[in-house]
Amino acid sequence: MGMALIALVGVQGYWIKNAMITRQANFISSVDEAVDGVVIRLEKLNRVRIPENIHLIENKFTYELIDSLLYDELNKKSISASFQFGVFSSERGQILIRTKGSDPNVLLDKGYAFTLFPGDLMVQPDYLMLYFPNERGFLMGQMSDLLVISVSLLLIIIFSFTYTVMTIYRQKRISQMKNDFINNMTHEFKTPISTISLACQALKDQDVAKSEAIYDTYIGVIGEENNRLGAMAEKILQSAVLEKSQLELNKEWLDIHEVITDVVNKIGIQVQIKDGKITTDFKAEPSQIHADRVHITNVFSNLLDNANKYTPQKPKIKVSTENVKTGIMISIEDNGIGISKKNQNKIFDKLYRVPMGDLHDFKGFGLGLSYVKAIVEYHKGSVRLESELKKGTKFDVFLPYES
């Protein structure tokens, strides 16, 4: 397709070039005919009105007369381009009459030359030099309709080609992301299902000694894994609801510091297991916003969970707040693996996960950050990212006091 498009552009360019050459040939022919008419009229005037003892061209005809005759004859040939002219005497080697402001050298080098009084063989001839400063523009103007149509069609073809290639590339990327999502989802669901299955088999096994403590342990495992399955299913369902724009927010006045503290307490246990720490620096006052408690809680759960997940060793996570004009800015900063510049623009896309090669150290569906962005925007807020590979990531979430 690309080669065909290049060939088509080349053919169109060749056609336009040939069309210009043809137009220029027709233009020159029309100019020749127009000036022939001027020469004939001057020759008639020379015979009728000019005394025989006057030989100098500047004494025979005025600038205004020649200009008027040229204008008249060119108009007859539909040539409306501006022109400059001069009368060159070969006997004296100079231009005797010329358009005011015109350059004699340009008239001689680039002008069309026509012999005046070609029938007078007794003297060295004088020449009428005619130059069109905007000749190319005039010719292009005559072809404007064809050029506009040709260029428009080319642009449409190029746009269609580009759009097609981009669509193919996007579909290929989405297909790959969906495949990754299905693989990740299968893996994520398989682990708790296997754990529940093993726990059930152990409870059914007649050879295993049963006690109240063992029952409680296995039932606890089944309950935890069941909750985990429910949370994953809920995350997928939430994503589907967001995609259909069917989400309804149950807004209430809440203290953002209280919400963040609850999330920190829950995530903090996982951080401590990795010998890490979460610190808070709450400076926002007032700290009340009008928002959906459940979804805002999920937003910060996702961000803090990611901060912990993508910091393999000794996470140092800092959560800070401050007031900015019409709302509160919440910043979550970690010392994790970071995100490269080329992946930062895609990180909020649904199903997108940063490529890790053949490594699968980090679990997830690629739904968390797209959910975060959607919920924040539902609250008329914004989220931005600052990150550097191997140095950590910072998310800044702005939430208005009242959306």
For 380-395, the pLDDT digits (tens) are 999 999 998 888 999 9
The answer on 278 and 317 residing in a single domain is yes
Q: Which of 142, 175, 208 is the last residue of a domain?
A: 142
Which of 28-42, 111-125, 360-374 has maximum average pLDDT? 28-42
User: Quick check: helix, strand or coil at residue 395?
Assistant: strand
pLDDT at position 358 over 50: no
**Domain of residue 280, CATH code:** 3.30.565.10
> Can you tell me the distance from the alpha carbon of 33 to that of 39, in angstroms, rounded to the nearest whole number?
10
List the one residue out of 226, 149, 235 whose CA is nearest residue 184. 235
pLDDT at 366: 60
The sign of the torsion formed by the CA atoms of 15, 18, 23, 24 equals positive
**Mean pLDDT for all residues in the chain:** 84
CA 251 – CA 402 distance, rounded (Å): 10
Q: What is the CATH number of the domain that holds 203?
A: 1.10.287
C-beta of residue 292 within 8 angstroms of C-beta of residue 250: yes
Q: Is 126 helix (H, G, I), strand (E, B) or coil?
A: strand
In this predicted structure, the answer to whether residue 178 has a pLDDT above a threshold of 80 is no
Rounded average pLDDT over 69-75: 93
Pairing of strands 277-282, 316-324: parallel
Regarding whether 182 and 125 lie in a shared domain, the answer is: no
Give CA–CA dist 76/110, Å, rounded: 23
- pLDDT of res. 154: 84
Name the DSSP class of 296: H
Cα 66 → chain centroid: 57
Q: Do 271 and 182 have their domain in common?
A: no
At 70, the pLDDT band (50, 70, 90 cuts) reads: very high
Domain region containing 178:
146-243
Tell me: do 174 and 55 sit in the same domain. no
Which residues on neighbouring strands pair with residue 87, listed in sequence order? Answer: 97, 128
As a whole-number percent, the residues of the chain with pLDDT over 90 amount to 32
Q: What is the mean pLDDT of residues 219-245?
A: 73
The pLDDT of 49-66, averaged and rounded, is 68
Q: Which of 68, 104, 74, 101 is nearest to 87 (CA)?
A: 104
Mind giving me the DSSP string for 92-115?
TTEEEEE-TT--HHHHHHHSEEEE
Instruction: Kindly state the tokens that stand for 305.
Output: 């969970």
pLDDT (tens digit, 9 = 90+) per residue, 8-52?
A: 888 888 888 888 898 899 999 999 999 999 988 888 887 765 555
Tell me, yes or no, whether 17 and 89 share the same domain: yes
Residues 162, 135, single domain; the answer is no
- Residue ending a domain, among 124, 142, 160, is 142
The last residue of one of the domains, among 243, 264, 289, is: 243
Helices (H) then strands (E): counts for the chain: 11, 11
Look at 42-46, 206-210, 328-332 and tell me which has the smallest mean pLDDT: 206-210
Contacting residues for 258 by C-beta, under 8 A, at least 6 apart: none
Residues 218 and 339 in one domain: no
Whether residue 62 is predicted with pLDDT greater than 50 in this model: the reply is yes
Residues 330 and 209 in one domain: no
395 and 354, same structural domain?
Answer: yes
Residue 184 confidence (pLDDT): 66
In a shared domain, residues 322 and 232: no
- The predicted model gives 168-186 an average pLDDT of 76
Number of domains into which the chain is organized: 3
Q: Which of 39-48, 152-161, 174-183 has the highest mean pLDDT?
A: 152-161
| Statement to judge: residues 91 and 225 lie in one domain | no
| pLDDT at position 359 over 50 | no
Strand arrangement of the beta sheet that strand 84-89 belongs to: 94-98, 84-89, 126-131, 112-116
Q: Is the alpha carbon torsion for 6, 9, 11, 17 positive or negative? A: negative
Q: How far apart are CA 88 and CA 84, in angstroms?
A: 13
If asked whether residues 67 and 48 sit together in one domain, one would say yes
Give 78's DSSP letter: T
Please state, for a pLDDT cut of 70, what percent of the chain lies above it: 85
